[in-house]
Amino acid sequence: STYDLLIVNGTIVTASDVYPADIAIKDGKVVLIGSALDPTLAKEVIDAEGAYVTPGGIDAHVHVDEPLKLLGPVADTMEEATRSAVAGGTTTVITFATQDKSITGPAALSDSVKANVDLYETQKLYCDYALHLILFHIEKPSTQGSRLLDLQLANVYSTYGVSSVKIFMTYPGLQISDYDILTTMQATRKNGFTTMIHAENGDMVKWMIEQLEEQNLTSPYFHGISRPTVVEGEATNRAIVLAKMMDTPILFVHVSSPEAIDTIRSAQTKGLKVFAETCPQYALLSDIETKCHHELEQQNGCSNACSNAKGHEPNVKLNPDEFDDDFIGAKTICSPPIRPDHCRESVWKAMNNGTFTIVGSDHCAYKYYDKTSGKLDAFKGDKNGEFKYIPNGMPGVCTRMPLLFDYGVMQGNLANMMKFVELQCTNPAKVYGLYPKKGSVLPGVSDADLVVWYPSSNEYEKKPKVVTNKLLVHGCDYTPFEGYQIGNWPRFTIVKGKIVYREGELIEENAKGSYVKREKSKLCTPNNEWVTELRPSYQKEANN
């Protein structure tokens, strides 16, 4: 046949257009968009019945099990993460490889990435994936550190198409100094890499944790208290200042607070190359989830108007029998933490006004029962459930797209479907060097990574309406969005022209995902303006 697959009667949505058209697919690519394409020319035809057809989602922030296990026992293998991804309309995930400190020399980073690619090659992959690199050990002095890193980045780009690094301003063992951030920025600038920043002031957090521990305030609720919004605001501002001196574009990941948003917006207004990501949990969840059952409530009764004297009934629960579980707040522990209610409005606003370039999930799932059983020594067992030892993160790779469809577009918090596609598909592809292969629907150019949504009619009883953990087919045993109503859900998820998810069912034999090499960012490029007379001479050769 002329086409492998034809999608007829759809309404195509890209970041810039919404229009009715048919899509013809051949050899994994979009080959033609037109009206009234001939169904007899195709092996298989999907009738979209007027529904939206969007590019597949690109979730550029997903943590999965990796050889170095930097983040401990995360629940998902790459197989489970990609399976959960396609069940929620995501067709590419970008996950993390960690710098292996024990390897030195120019190939150190490419060897670190190789270990991940080799591991994932042994797994069944439901969609494509790419890798960022986490850096936490920077050679000194700055001149040598930057020269070595320069070579290492050049290697990891030419060998594996990795074009972004993530650095941390918090977490014992990961936090790097301002000095090391500058060294990193010099090398990332030279290589045209995107520098992703986890912006929280680790010293402020450490100080706060010690104060709380002194008062025996260690239950999950106090995780959020230990890292208030100013902690994120300070680090965000500081990173912007460092990036300004280096003229290095940066991207803040998982931005959660009005302080950080205002700081980022003001830098963008000044023309600095500052980009940002937020996540659905910061737009939707409330710190009330961790507030329930904390020590003060148990002593004094609930300070909020809930019927339970012992504390709020949290939204996040497995079933009513576990209502009395005083550790339940652990499920929504992440960093930055879930914020007080008033923060959510600024997150939605920043999605609409362009402050946020992308929405990622920060999927980083840990099994709750392992958290509580004490089987893992990092958790409740011998550490008595102290928040400091509870691993940070929650699942979200599956729910990112459906949640923003309903709570964003349908409920009017997001401007329109084009914004939805821009934030979740197109901009992630542009900013991380996957565009236009991924993130759009361009004939002859784009992979046929597509989502056919349900039409707006109500005749589809199979359309999921409520989030359950089972629906998400991940490796985790809970979702913070349990019970959330969802007004639409991917009906067909198509990866490189193959249907991998059809009306609630995974199609395992079509799981043919692979590693994708990326190009450099189409958005994050230096301004080529220097702010001091003492420009590092090394920078003069910088390519961009």
Residues that bind ligand DUC (CB under 6 A): 63, 71, 198, 334-335, 362, 364, 392-393
Phi, psi of 30 (to 5 degrees): -75, 120
In whole angstroms, how close is the CB of 110 to Zn ion at the nearest point? 22
> Pick from ligand DUC, Zn ion, none: which does 302 bind, CB < 5 to 8 A by kind?
Zn ion
Choose the contact partner of 201 out of Zn ion, ligand DUC, none; CB within 5 to 8 A by kind: none
Q: How far is the CB of 392 from ligand DUC (least distance, A)?
A: 4
Question: Three-class SS string for 57-107?
Answer: EEECCECCCCCCCCCCCCCCCHHHHHHHHHCCCEEEEEEEEECCCCCCCCC
Please tell me the distance from the alpha carbon of residue 406 to that of residue 427, in angstroms, as a whole number: 20
Q: Which of Zn ion, ligand DUC, none binds 312 (CB below 5-8 Å, type-dependent)?
A: Zn ion
Residue 296 in the binding site for Zn ion (CB under 5 A): no
Query: What sign does the CA torsion over 373, 96, 111, 142 have?
Result: negative
Which is nearer to ligand DUC, 335 or 427 (by Cβ)? 335
CB of 364 to ligand DUC, least distance (A): 4
Picked from Zn ion, ligand DUC, none, the partner binding residue 82 (CB below 5 to 8 A depending on kind) is none
Residue 362 is a binding residue for Zn ion (CB under 5 A): yes
Cβ closest to ligand DUC, residue 334 vs residue 524: 334
Residues forming beta bridges with residue 251, ordered by sequence position: 196, 275
Toward ligand DUC, which CB reaches closer, 246 or 253? Answer: 253
Closest separation between CB of residue 485 and Zn ion, Å? 23
Closer by beta carbon to Zn ion, 62 or else 495: 62
CB of 476 to ligand DUC, least distance (A): 13
In the bound complex, what is the minimum distance in angstroms from residue 288's beta carbon to Zn ion?
7
Per-position DSSP letters for 265-315, written without gaps between them: HHHHHTT--EEEEE-HHHHH--THHHHTT-HHHHHH--SSS-S-TT----S
Residues near 12 by Cβ (< 8 Å), separated by ≥ 6?
18, 19, 20, 21, 23, 33, 52, 53, 54, 441
The SS3 assignment for 158 reads helix
Alpha helices in 374-426 (DSSP H): 380-383, 400-403, 417-421
Contact predicate 205/231, CB 8 Å? yes
- For residues 63 and 438, which CB has a smaller minimum distance to ligand DUC in the complex? 63
Which range of residues in 302-310, 318-326, 348-356, 440-448 is near Zn ion by CB under 5 A?
302-310
Q: Does residue 391 interact with Zn ion by CB under 5 A?
A: no
Residue 312 binds to Zn ion (criterion: CB under 5 A): yes
Site string for Zn ion, 173-212 (x = CB under 5 A): -------------------------x--------------
> Considering the complex, what minimum distance in angstroms separates the CB of residue 364 from Zn ion?
6
Tell me how far, at minimum, the Cβ of 396 lies from ligand DUC, in Å. 10
Nearer to ligand DUC, 236 or 392 (CB): 392
- Contact of residue 334 among ligand DUC, Zn ion, none (CB under 5-8 Å per partner type): ligand DUC
261: phi then psi, degrees, rounded to nearest 5: -60, -45
| Contact call for residue 287 and Zn ion (CB under 5 A) | no
State the nearest-atom distance from the C-beta of 144 to ligand DUC, in Å.
Answer: 29
Residue in this structure with the two tokens 């030195």, named with its chain if needed = 104
**Using the rule CB under 5 A, is 341 a contact of Zn ion?**
no
> Of 346, 182, 164, 359, which is closest to residue 265 (Cα–Cα)?
346
**Bridge partner residues of 55 (DSSP):** 450
Residue 306 touches which member of Zn ion, ligand DUC, none, C-beta under 5-8 Å by kind:
Zn ion
Give the distance, in angstroms, between the CA of residue 203 and the centroid of all CA atoms in the same chain: 25
Minimum CB separation of residue 174 from ligand DUC in Å reads: 9
Segment (H or E) for 429? helix 427-431
**Treating both helix axes as pointing N-terminal to C-terminal, what angle do 258-269 and 229-246 enclose, rounded to 10 degrees?**
20
> Looking at beta carbons only, is 279 or 472 nearer to Zn ion?
279
Told to check if 384 binds Zn ion by CB under 5 A, we report: no
Q: What residues make contact with Zn ion under the rule CB under 5 A?
A: 198, 302, 304, 306, 311-312, 362
